[in-house]
Amino acid sequence: MSSWEEMQNSGATLKKEIFVEILDVDSEKYRDQIRTALDVRRNHFAHLGGNLAAIVKMELMDELFRIDAFACRVKDAGDSIILDITSFPKRFFFPILRVLARSQDVQNLLLTYTSPESYAPDNEPLYENIEPWRALAGFGGAEILEAQWIVSVGFLVESLRNYSVGAQDAKMKLLIPFPSSLSSLQRTWASVANLETDHRDGRLEKFRVDPLDMSAAFDRICQIAGNPFRPVAFAPFGPKPTSAAMCLFAIQKNSPVHYSQPMVYHPEYSRGVRNNNSSTAVSAYWVKHEGENLYAV
């Protein structure tokens, strides 16, 4: 919501606004905390002039056709669209971004993302009840015989590690977010160490990518895929801007995307905005300009 709030403060005129509230699977452990946090967020939204009645409610595990229907509603809102991916689970923003990027009706497309101040304490899990490793809905992609995996390293790699132990021929290119905030650095390198535990054979290759530089992430993906093109598969466990770069590449090359969806997130998965200043915490990425795809392969 910070990007919307920042636009409100700057005096920007938005012709139409569409909001969606995605409801986690019910968790007895976090139920009261989540209700309180949502009440605070709704009250703040209403205080800023937001229309609570216009919020679309969806379930975290809603089927793909419902997500695509929402994406089409967004697409039909106008030819210039700003999509804020900050709080969208990947199983939502990947298909939504695909619809908007492919649509000839969308002439201008901006993505926004707000960097948090911190994450939940290290001794508390960020997520629970994780789904098995599988293709992201709608992103099964083309079959790859000799897998070359591009992995955006983040906080959720347990399932990838289990998969890679059994896939002895899989080559993995790790996109490691750096420089990174201290609040995420320890968790990120713990994930790298987790992946390396069973792979001392040189199958892992590391690349540093600024977590907020979507263009650099896309360029690195293109470099790894090579020319002539070598098929790649994606595992987007890292920062949202890097995941968006993966999505933009995958929809053009029909690359498979695999993920393990948590059913329950910590109520304070992320907290605040970086430096308590939304004007510097919000990043914007221009994806389409006057019909031209700025991330064309």
CATH code at 184? Answer: 3.40.50.11700
Q: How many CA atoms lie within 13 A of 95 on its CB side?
A: 21
169 and 89 in a common domain: no
Asked which of 31-45, 92-106, 112-126, 224-238 is least confident by mean pLDDT, the reply is 112-126
Locus of tokens 């004007």:
279
Strands (E), 180-276: 204-209, 233-236, 258-259, 262-265, 270-271
* CA-wise closest residue to 170 among 150, 146, 191, 189: 146
Q: Hey, CA dihedral for 128, 132, 133, 134, is it positive or negative?
A: negative
Q: What band does 74 get if pLDDT is binned at 50, 70 and 90?
A: very high
CA separation for the pair 291, 196 (Å, rounded): 43
The pair phi, psi for residue 276, each rounded to 5°, is 55, 35
Residue 166 in this model has a pLDDT that exceeds 60: no
Q: What band does 106 get if pLDDT is binned at 50, 70 and 90?
A: very high
The mean per-residue pLDDT over the stretch 202-212 comes to 87
Q: Model confidence over 5-28: pLDDT tens digits?
A: 767 666 666 788 899 999 888 888
Q: How many domains does the chain have?
A: 2
pLDDT at position 107 is 97
Contact 296, 110 (CB under 8 A): no
Take residue 258 and report the two structure tokens written for it. Answer: 């695999």
285 and 225 in a common domain: no
Residue 288 in this model has a pLDDT that exceeds 80: yes
pLDDT at position 143 is 77
Ranked by mean pLDDT, the top range of 99-113, 157-171, 253-267 is: 99-113
Higher pLDDT, 160 or 265: 265
pLDDT at position 82 is 95
Locus of tokens 């020319």:
227
Locus of tokens 């970086």:
274
Contact 95, 63 (CB under 8 A): no
73 and 9 in a common domain: yes
Contact 244, 285 (CB under 8 A): yes
CA separation for the pair 154, 187 (Å, rounded): 7
Q: Is residue 235 part of a domain?
A: yes
CA separation for the pair 87, 116 (Å, rounded): 11
40 and 166 in a common domain: no
CA separation for the pair 71, 198 (Å, rounded): 40
In 3-state terms, what secondary structure has residue 236? strand
- Which domain, by its residues, includes 57? 2-117+271-293
Ranked by mean pLDDT, the top range of 42-51, 83-92, 174-183, 263-272 is: 83-92
Higher pLDDT, 166 or 36: 36
Cis peptide before 211 (omega within 30 of 0): no
Q: Is residue 122 part of a domain?
A: no
Its pTM stands at 0.90
Q: What band does 163 get if pLDDT is binned at 50, 70 and 90?
A: low
Q: How many CA atoms lie within 13 A of 296 on its CB side?
A: 7
pLDDT at position 203 is 74
152 and 97 in a common domain: no
